[in-house]
Structure 1
Amino acid sequence: MGIFKKLRNTSEKTLGQAKETVGKHSSDDQLQAEGKKDQAKGSFKNAGEDIKDTFNR
């Protein structure tokens, strides 16, 4: 089950990168900040999944 959560978190991180890029090119500071937030959120969730996987071995 952990692999599906990791994929979802990675897709959230990738979507955040896309939002940030679009925000930069369109000078939309709010979209750029939202993209950075999504990237951080995805990274933290992946870190949590890695910790869970470490203890479940």
Structure 2
Amino acid sequence: MAEAEQVHISTYPPLWPTRDPGSAGKTCGPENAIRIRAGAHSFEAKVFNVVV
């Protein structure tokens, strides 16, 4: 944020599962944490965020 970026690219380890087999229908998990974190950074830094 201190470098006045306009676009931020977020990358996360590919080892995280996209869905835990034991969490049938639950909304918490790594994909939700990524969504919240990316959204918070976009809002705070006033930038576009691309999540890869």
TM over 0.5: no
TM-score computed with the length of structure 2 as normaliser = 0.38
TM-score computed with the length of structure 1 as normaliser = 0.36
The structure with more strand, counted as a fraction of residues? 2
User: Which gives a bigger RCO, structure 1 or 2 (Cα 8 Å, sep 6+)?
Assistant: 2
The structure with more helix, counted as a fraction of residues? 1
